[in-house]
Structure 1
């Protein structure tokens, strides 16, 4: 049975354990084994740095075990995907894993900026900090958009439906 690493900021939600159980049940429904980061056993009585390193090592181990990564690439605490999730996607891609991402919004990254948050200068949009806003008609940074094998506009389950 192929294994799927379930990446995303869902681990920060108040009901993260239930979400993980739901996702792993969906994986099983489609004939896969789900690997959810919060399934790792970590000793939380240690120093914060030791806990962080243990979480990192355990998640890297799960990515190595996985055949596929499905990542929640929706905006998290701003306009961008969770940086940890983006790292996991890049790491999995470098290992030759099949990576799928899902997002709810189909609009381009540029269109996520409200009119008052951007300004057109010399045919280029910039934000309030005068930084160029990427405009390649992707919903996310080009390095992520071009590296995932498939971007799905929908849900975790929609990604599962696309797998062989």
Structure 2
């Protein structure tokens, strides 16, 4: 059986999104899997019937996810300290389906450090030494790649979070961490 992997990530926003998807699908093929990119066509009568383009996109992405055996999510920080919100949703959706998930990031700094940098002077230490924001809300300080629910969901499914620190210019094109995640998810599916 050929494993179908949904390729979740903010690459859909790149000017060359289709080329980015093709590069990721080529990595999957090298490992005996089929990569399914969110922009790939898929038959969906429900999506075709929608007047709102955004809702049709949502329905097609959900159909893609349901058609796959596993998911690899790009959790590289996107427009802030955390992964792309849509990618995070897709990871959780696949996890809720009970299928294996893996993730990767091309930024090695832990979530706490990235959040502190994002908040700047609004991040401050509490008397107990923990960090909080300007509203007094604590910052996660577990040394994880992203929010504990993401790292936890990946671990609970038997997946990995692969991390490689790459130069900013290559953060959306360097596929070394992605390939590590693909290898791991293919192995997990083969043994699962």
What TM-score, normalized by structure 1, do the two folds share?
0.89
Deviations 1:7-65 (A, max 9, x none): 00010011111000111111111111111001136999x74xx2111111111111111
Aligned counterpart, 1:116: 121
Aligned counterpart, 1:153: 163
Aligned counterpart, 2:190: none
Deviations 1:137-156 (A, max 9, x none): 21211111100131111321
Any residues of structure 2 matched to 1:2-151 within 5 Å, and which?
2-40=3-41, 47=51, 50-112=52-114, 113-114=116-117, 116-123=121-128, 124-148=130-154, 149-151=159-161
Structure having the larger proportion of residues in helix: 2
Instruction: Tell me how far apart the structure 1 counterparts of residues 142 and 74 of structure 2 sit (CA, whole Å).
Output: 21
CA RMSD of superposed structures (Å): 2.0
For structure 1, the 5+ residue unaligned runs are: none
Structure having the larger proportion of residues in strand: 1
Report the more deviating stretch, 8-17 or 106-115: 106-115
Instruction: Tell me how far apart the structure 2 counterparts of residues 27 and 109 of structure 1 sit (CA, whole Å).
Output: 27
Report the more deviating stretch, 84-93 or 103-112: 103-112
Report the more deviating stretch, 125-134 or 71-80: 125-134
Give structure 1 regions of 4+ aligned residues with deviation exceeding 4 angstroms: 41-44
Count of residue pairs brought into register by the alignment: 161
Deviations 1:52-83 (A, max 9, x none): 11111111111111111000001100111111
Is contact 2:8–2:90 with CA below 8 Å preserved after alignment?
A: yes
Instruction: Tell me how far apart the structure 2 counterparts of residues 139 and 9 of structure 1 sit (CA, whole Å).
Output: 17
How much has 1:117 moved relative to structure 2? Answer: 4.5
How much has 1:116 moved relative to structure 2? Answer: 3.4
For structure 2, the 5+ residue unaligned runs are: 165-176, 188-192
Is contact 2:82–2:146 with CA below 8 Å preserved after alignment?
A: yes
